[in-house]
Amino acid sequence: MHETNEGEFLKLTNVKKTYDQKTLIIKNFTLHVRKGEFITLLGPSGSGKTTVLMMLAGFENVTSGSITVNGRSITKIAPYNRNIGMVFQNYALFPHMTVADNLAYPLKVRHVPQRQIRERVARHLKLVELDGFDGRYPGQLSGGQRQRVALARALIFEPALVLMDEPLGALDKKLREQMQFEITRLHRQLGFTVIYVTHDQVEALTMSSRIAVFNNGVVQQYASPDELYEHPANAFVANFVGENNLIPALAPMIDGDLVKANLPGGGNIIARNGDCDASDQQCIISIRPEKLTFKANNQPGDNQVAAKFMARHYVGDFIRYFLALPDGSRVVVKTLNDAKAPEFTEGQPTTVIWAATDCLAFKTNADTARGEHT
């Protein structure tokens, strides 16, 4: 799953973690990261992503396996000798120190000359657009400003690797989006390598070079944002990354790269094969809400399913339509908010249409089909 390339900067190889010597929290985890990449560890709460970050930082021991940075093993090196920057959700700033002193602290413990400390503090305050805030204390700053200070402190000693653990979780939506932009701007400008932990799949899609999707201590897929969204490896990834409809189907028959299957309420479906094999008795059809349409100008081979309108949610720039299929399954159709957006009355019958090439057929597996956004 994880290709090996020249120029790989960070390698986690066959890493395992257990606290009781019985249950593996992290199971045989391997991840290769190129220098300068922005890698996100994405998954529901309890999936193991933060545990991996803590092992990288040295705050948790590795049960077995190895971690190397730039060819040097750091598996048994103390946290303060790893030269890794950390940004936490709760900022972890010293409340009794000014902004300037907070930034200067990691330089002082590294015995950087005072003149260089002053220069670097000024430069990094400018980088995060906090010129003139050097004399303030953390309690005098907004949440967004405190996170900018925390980010500057993590970068000021010029680490090659920066770890971020849900750094924007405490911010409101608007501030969160602003800080997403700021972090990616600094990443592009300075070129440091980032390992970023979040359970917010929109945040992961907008910020990352590649994303490792976790479930139960196992990476389900490691790929670029567009690859994850357009070509998910299984039902869990399809349901966790972005909005998605999962429609149960029966008796899948594999025909080359396509799967033909029956719907429990009648009718049939054609889909691209995700991970089904000839022995499966049932499958899950995965289709994004924006790929569905009510339009009647369908093409030969398109899937057509009878449905009943249940509800309509106005979201501003788009509209979600909630529909029920004959077997009781629910689907969501997402359309632009324009003059062509249809109107329905509750219970009104309609037909949902989509191209066979826009959906995937996956195995029905309890571990991979549960994609709860927690």
> Domains of the chain: which residue ranges?
8-230, 245-369
SS3 269: strand
Q: Report which of residues 216 and 361 the model is more confident about.
A: 361
CATH architecture for the domain at 8-230: 3-Layer(aba) Sandwich (3.40)
Contacts with 163 (C-beta within 8 Å, 6 or more apart), sequence order: 53, 56, 57, 84, 85, 86, 87, 194, 195, 196, 197
Helix (H) or strand (E) holding 198: strand 193-198
Amino acid 283: pLDDT:
93
pLDDT at 370 over 70: no
Amino acid 297: pLDDT:
60
Q: Which two tokens stand for residue 252?
A: 């899948």
79 C-beta neighbours (distance < 10 Å), count = 14
What is the percentage of the chain residues whose pLDDT exceeds 90?
Answer: 71
Q: Which two tokens stand for residue 141?
A: 């700053």
pLDDT class of 111 with cuts at 50, 70, 90: very high
Does domain 245-369 fall under CATH 2.40.50.140? My reply is: yes
pLDDT at 105 over 60: yes
Amino acid 365: pLDDT:
67
287-299 burial, b if ≥16 CB within 10 A, otherwise e? bbbbbbbbeeeee
Mean model confidence pLDDT for the chain: 89
Amino acid 216: pLDDT:
85
DSSP state of 109: T
Amino acid 1: pLDDT:
41
Q: Could you tell me how many residues make up the chain?
A: 374
Closest CA to 1 of 223, 224, 232, 234: 223
- The structure's pTM equals 0.87
Amino acid 3: pLDDT:
40
Amino acid 234: pLDDT:
93
* Alpha-carbon torsion, ordered 42, 48, 54, 55, to 10 deg: -110
SS3 264: coil
Q: Tell me the mean pLDDT in the region 190-215.
A: 93
Intrachain domains 8-230 and 245-369 with the same fold: no
Q: Report which of residues 298 and 308 the model is more confident about.
A: 308
Amino acid 137: pLDDT:
95
Amino acid 369: pLDDT:
41
Q: Tell me the mean pLDDT in the region 2-11.
A: 65
State the Cα–Cα distance between residues 203 and 178, nearest whole angstrom. 12
Q: Tell me the mean pLDDT in the region 46-68.
A: 93
Amino acid 295: pLDDT:
73
